[in-house]
Amino acid sequence: MKIKLLIADDHALVRGGLKSMLGADPEIEEVIEAVNGHEAVKKARKFKPHVVVMDYEMPNFNGVYATREILKELPDTRIILVSAHHSREYIMEGIHAGIRGFLPKEARSSELLQAIKALARGETWFRGSTAELLAPGFVDTIHPTKVQASKEPALTPREKEIVKYLAKGLNSHEIAKKLSISKRTVDVHKFNIFKKLDISNAIELMRYAIRHNLVKV
């Protein structure tokens, strides 16, 4: 099977390097590029890639949001998330969105190529240190404890940052400047935060921030 591949990353050097390296492999039929999450969704709809290499941190939809949007229309597309943040929270956020694999950004190009081919065959790619991070969570699903069962949904580090600024009264534009991301990305995070926490207003958000020591009172 020849693989049609989409690379979504906001860094031109990264995209160019990956396209050159991956496109040289005889099993890769075509490499399409997207500069942000919004473009990744549009190009996935247009070109229908078999596999998407999705950067987590991008303007105009982060990788997790883009993953959800792509899989709504293209459920057979296989997505591998690549992130500089190699933590269980980030990986689990991606898994809930529908990713089939995860690689830290420091992974070798040869491993990324292996992962792409594995996903194209219908396999998953959660290996090495990533598998070790995930293992406790899967054990917990088999042997849940009362404490774990009562836990609130976990926010990612980025979402916690945004909660902290929202609780301080900053608006989306101000938060975007603080974090060097787009206002649209902040708004997407806000939507996800309110949905995860099942809250509907700033007062409930403030209570959450205080309870979790994200702001001082």
- DSSP track, 179-208: HTS-HHHHHHHHHHHHHHHT--SHHHHHHH
Pull the structure tokens for residue 119: 């996903």
Q: Tell me, what's the pLDDT at 151?
A: 54
Instruction: Yes or no: say if 208 and 199 are a contact pair by the CB < 8 Å rule.
Output: yes
Question: Cα 2–62–179 angle (5° rounding)?
Answer: 145
What confidence tens digit (pLDDT) does each residue in 100-136 have?
999 998 889 899 999 999 999 999 998 877 877 776 6
Does residue 150 register a pLDDT over 50?
no
φ/ψ of 196, rounded to 5, equals -60, -45
Does residue 149 register a pLDDT over 60?
no
DSSP 99-138: -SEEEETTS-HHHHHHHHHHHHTT--B--THHHHHHHHHH
Q: Tell me, what's the pLDDT at 208?
A: 83
Compute CA 41 distance to the chain's CA centroid, rounded to the nearest angstrom.
Answer: 13
Q: Residue for token digits 């404490």?
A: 147
> What percent of the chain is modeled with pLDDT above 90?
53
CA separation for the pair 180, 189 (Å, rounded): 14
Does residue 45 register a pLDDT over 80?
yes
Compute CA 191 distance to the chain's CA centroid, rounded to the nearest angstrom.
Answer: 15
CATH 1.10.10.10 range(s) for the chain read 152-211
CA separation for the pair 199, 7 (Å, rounded): 35
CATH 3.40.50.2300 range(s) for the chain read 3-137
Instruction: Yes or no: say if 56 and 65 are a contact pair by the CB < 8 Å rule.
Output: no
Question: Cα 105–133–147 angle (5° rounding)?
Answer: 140
CA separation for the pair 164, 154 (Å, rounded): 15
pTM of the model: 0.66
Pull the structure tokens for residue 169: 């009264």
CA separation for the pair 101, 116 (Å, rounded): 9
Kindly indicate the confidence band of residue 50, based on its pLDDT and cuts at 50, 70 and 90.
very high
The CATH number of the domain covering residues in 3-137: 3.40.50.2300
Kindly indicate the confidence band of residue 2, based on its pLDDT and cuts at 50, 70 and 90.
very high
Kindly indicate the confidence band of residue 142, based on its pLDDT and cuts at 50, 70 and 90.
very low
DSSP conformation class of 153: P
Q: Tell me, what's the pLDDT at 147?
A: 44
Note the CATH architecture for domain 152-211.
Orthogonal Bundle (1.10)
CA separation for the pair 191, 61 (Å, rounded): 12
**CB-neighbour burial class of residue 5 (10 A; exposed 0-12, middle 13-18, buried 19+):** buried
